Amino acid sequence: MWNAADWTRITHRIDALRDEMIRMQSELTARPALGPTNGGTGEHEKSEFMKQEMKRLGLQLSEFKCPDSRVPAGYRPSLIGFLPGRNHKRRVWIMTHLDIVPPGPRELWKTDPYRVSVVGDRLYGRGVEDNQQEMVASFHAVKALMELGLVPVADIGLVLVADEETGSHYGIDYVLKQGKNRGQSPQGLGQSPFLPGDLIIVADAGNEKGSEIEVAEKSIAWLKFQVIGRQTHASTPDKGRNAHRAGAQLMLRIDRLLHRRFQARDRLFHPPVTTAEPTKREPNVPNVNTIPGEDVFFFDCRVLPRYSLRELLRLVKTEARTASRELGVKVRVSTEQFEQAAPPTRPDAPVVKALSRAVRDIYGVRTSTIGIGGGTVAALFRRAGYPAAVWGRFCGQAHRPNEYCLVSNMTGDARVYAHVLGQDLSIHR
């Protein structure tokens, strides 16, 4: 662990970087990194800004460019900034994501979502908490150490990825696959950035106290239902097949089916049950006096790991076929996301122990391990065989209008990361 004198210097330096953290938040928010699925041009501008910041800091850089013809740059960028430590046998990775979600209706925002507003300890703007808070905190934790001439115990890597909000295919999934076959990693990293013994912190979820460390996630199934009827004038319904009515009835049938068949509880998870919610519905006809011939709606299912998603899909398709016959319409069922839960990270894994010790010392709270229904990139690490822990001290503002983060969370979490980088990681085995 850092000695008392060095730790005092570190905390004072992080405090001195407070205004710089706010400026970086302003720069990042002004570069809205919306993926093409959400109507944006990708992460390129935001990535270029962070690339220059990492270069100025003196980090070794590696860039992963996943081809994507839908964006002007032609690719989706992910970055690694690497700082060698005293011990190269184990590395600490802190991963955040570059992309954001759309702000939603502007009338729900009190301020411009793409311009940071500072109100006391709060910073308002789209992306300031999800996920820029931890990106800025981890960057400045490393910056404080480098400016003080302090070398971390282990190698440290800052990983900034694209496409977290819409599936990670163009982000960490690409990085994990490419890392096995490429030679463009920073000096000392070899062909693959990640090693089995590394500590991987996914800084993308947490509670207000910082007391929760996420070690498990539910399976995710996004289901699309397309109901095909026959369009006609609303005054002659006998000449058509009302897909909207059939879709509404099918939605209720699927809702009853899922809640009846998947009732188990698991106290590790919050909430402790499988959730299955009808969410998006696509527009059908633009005028009132037309019976629609198509109805399209979606379910977002977060399923306890004990259940098989293949079995869930089989049950749903069976119910859809039955409804199709009874309602006189065609029904097509497809999946937008379909990911069986990854193996959980052990509650006594080294990364959990290191985070727990740091959070206790910085915030004075005891941590507990939990599972969540939301999806993070930790699942991809776990499927690839790398135990990962998800942590952060958050106000729960992700995807909300008037999203904000606390400046005190940025500076406090920077201290947590600096604490982890000073620990003797050999004791966490």
Residue 428 confidence (pLDDT): 54
**What is the predicted pLDDT for the residue at 89?**
83
pLDDT at 193: 82
The reported pLDDT for the residue numbered 270 is 87
Nearest to residue 84, comparing CAs of 185, 204, 196? 185
**pLDDT for position 191:** 52
pLDDT in tens, 279-338: 999 999 999 999 999 999 999 999 999 999 999 999 999 999 999 999 999 999 999 999
**With contact defined as beta carbons under 8 Å apart, do 139 and 132 qualify?**
no
Query: Bigger pLDDT: 180 or 103?
Result: 103
Beta bridge partners of residue 204, listed in sequence order = none
The model's pTM is: 0.84
Q: What is the pLDDT of residues 270-281, one digit of tens each?
A: 899 999 999 999
- For residue 66, what is the enclosing H or E element? strand 60-67
pLDDT tens digits for 349-394?
A: 999 999 999 999 999 999 999 999 987 889 999 998 999 999 999 9
> In sequence order, what E strands does 208-355 have?
212-217, 219-228, 232-233, 269-270, 275-281, 290-291, 294-303, 330-339
10 Å Cβ neighbour count for 120?
A: 7
User: Which residue's structure tokens are 């005891």?
Assistant: 366
pLDDT at residue 197 greater than cutoff 60: yes
Integer Cα distance of 168 and 383 in angstroms: 13
Confidence of residue 179 (pLDDT cuts 50, 70, 90): low
- Structure confidence at residue 188 (pLDDT): 43
pLDDT at 182: 47
Residues of the chain with CATH 3.40.630.10: 4-217+342-427
Residues of the chain with CATH 3.30.70.360: 219-339
Buried b (16+ CB within 10 A) or exposed e, 247-276: bbebbebbeebbeeebeeeeebbeeebbbb
Is 4 exposed, middle or buried (CB count within 10 Å of its CB: 0-12, 13-18, 19+)? exposed
**Predicted confidence band of residue 183 (pLDDT cuts 50, 70, 90):** very low
Contact (CB, 8 A) for 228 and 414: no
Residue 236 has pLDDT above 60, yes or no: yes
Tell me the pLDDT tens digit for each residue of 65-116: 999 999 999 999 999 999 999 988 889 999 999 999 999 999 999 999 999 9
Average pLDDT over residues 394-411: 96
**Smallest Cα–Cα separation from 79: which of 56, 47, 36?**
47
Strands 117-119 and 122-124: antiparallel
The DSSP symbol for 265 reads: B
Q: What are phi and psi of 310, to 5 degrees?
A: -65, -40
pLDDT reported for residue 192 = 62
Give the per-residue pLDDT at 189.
Answer: 47
Give the DSSP per-residue string, 109-146.
-SS-TTS-EEETTEEESTTIIIIIHHHHHHHHHHHHHH
CA of residue 120 relative to chain centroid, distance: 27
pLDDT above 90 as % of the chain: 89
CATH superfamily of 4-217+342-427: Zn peptidases (3.40.630.10)
Average pLDDT, the chain: 94
High-pLDDT (> 70) share of the chain, %: 96
Q: What is the mean pLDDT of residues 159-185?
A: 82
286 cis-preceded (ω within 30 degrees of 0): no
Predicted confidence at residue 320, as pLDDT, reads 98
**What's the topology of domain 219-339?**
Alpha-Beta Plaits (3.30.70)
Mean pLDDT of 125-142: 98
Is residue 151's pLDDT more than 60?
Answer: yes
Residue-level pLDDT at 187: 45
Residue 257 has pLDDT above 70, yes or no: yes
Beta-carbon contacts of 194 under 8 Å, excluding residues fewer than 6 positions away, are: 91, 93, 176, 179, 200, 381, 384, 386
- Assign 186 a pLDDT band (cuts: 50, 70, 90): very low
One-letter amino acid of 170? Y
Cα 93 to Cα 273, 297, 348, 403: the distances in Å are 31, 39, 18, 26
